[in-house]
Amino acid sequence: MIKKRRGGLLLLLGFFLILLLSLPIIGFTAPVGNPATTDVPKGPGVFSMKQDKNLSIKTAVDFDFLFDKKIHADAATNTKFTSAQWYMVRLSYGMFNERVEPYIKLGMAHIKSQWTEGATDIKLESDNGFAWGLGTKALIYNLEKPKVKFIGDLFYRMADLDVEKGYVAGTQVTPTKSKSKFAIREWQFALLAATEIDVSGSGRTEALGVSKIVPYAGIKYSDLSGRLRLTQSDATFFNPGKLEAEHNIGIFAGCDILGTDSVLLNVEGRLIDETALSAGMAVLF
């Protein structure tokens, strides 16, 4: 039975990897789940740190994929992030009997934007640069019947990137990197409801190595700020002005899939303020 479950888990991980590689490599969003609740995975930990030392330390990998996010700029129109990549590794620590989970994220960002300044269309593309973030997830209320947990998540992230490419009216130009700018700050607060479902008795889920699933859904408020500036070699520059999110309220839904007691996979979608999809994996040590 153990070999069968391990084989099923490897099959599930392989399918998950194929899913990630087949998605468009774009993104500008912050996932809420992975995991959604503060007390999963529930196992002893892959190194038995939870079991032997009562240390709830998790690491996770997040991949964000965005399909549309409109931005309001006070000196330009049609402003949006057309493509972005956020590849983040997260380290978190469960506190107060796993009711509170502060975390930090480190990784890489690559972002594309566009705006119209006067009658001129501008496009800006960053390089692959360092990004970081921090946040806290907390259990707000645990409802016994029906068994639902209400979770709050507060998150902030930023990236100061160099400008790699610029386009003015469809023509590629050479940016002056020292005077061009691509800086993004983003924060969000999310409220979600999650329930845990035991699926270990199903033949199909056992074949895939899945023991439990944690579906969740919620609402979030988010905003951003930043600076975009394209400066050409002849000192001509374009700047859309102050940036903020055009839509602040969004909804999201996702699912944590527990392959073992100490490993889970996550898929999440977001709508209204952005059309986005994220995927990830978390491991309890």
Predicted structure pTM score: 0.80
CA 88 to chain centre: 8
Query: In the structure, what pLDDT confidence band is assigned to residue 105 with cuts at 50, 70 and 90?
Result: very high
pLDDT tens track for 34-80? 677 777 666 555 555 555 556 678 889 988 877 778 899 989 999 99
- The total number of structural domains that make up the chain: 1
Tell me how many degrees the CA angle 123-28-12 measures, rounded to the nearest 5.
Answer: 130
Measured distance CA(167)–CA(235) in Å, rounded? 15
Measured distance CA(29)–CA(125) in Å, rounded? 17
The domain spanning residue 94 has which CATH number? Answer: 2.40.128
Q: What is the pLDDT of residue 46?
A: 56
Neighbouring C-alpha atoms within 13 Å toward the C-beta of 123: 11
Tell me the residue range of the domain where 233 lies.
2-284
